[in-house]
Amino acid sequence: MVGENDLAFAVRDKFPVRPLHTLIIPKRHVSDIFSTCPEEREALHQLALECRTAISQDDPGVQGFNFGSNVGVAAGQKIFHAHLHLIPRRIGDTPPPPARPSE
């Protein structure tokens, strides 16, 4: 675990898109980010800010982030427990992956 508060925790993604790819997850089981309550969304956001700062300190080459969640099969959701992706980006990275395969 790379971070935690009362309502959420953060871990490195087991299948990272880029180095230091982090998942921010509510402790309560809900299927997607829209099912979280306002307090959980604030806890997730605060933890994301902390993780962003830590990642930027660990790797000064990080110049941006992708931050978001896939909701539903059509959007590429594979794990049906709400979570946010915090993906560090560096100049010269490959383009971010699409939410679903291109047709």
Q: What residues are labeled active site? A: 83
Task: Give alpha helix (H) positions in 1-103.
Answer: 38-58
Side chain identity at residue 25, one-letter code: I
Q: Within 10 Å of residue 67's Cβ, how many Cβ atoms?
A: 15
Cα–Cα distances (Å) from 80 to 26, 30, 32, 49, 66, in that order, read 12, 8, 6, 23, 20
DSSP reduced 3-state for 44 = helix
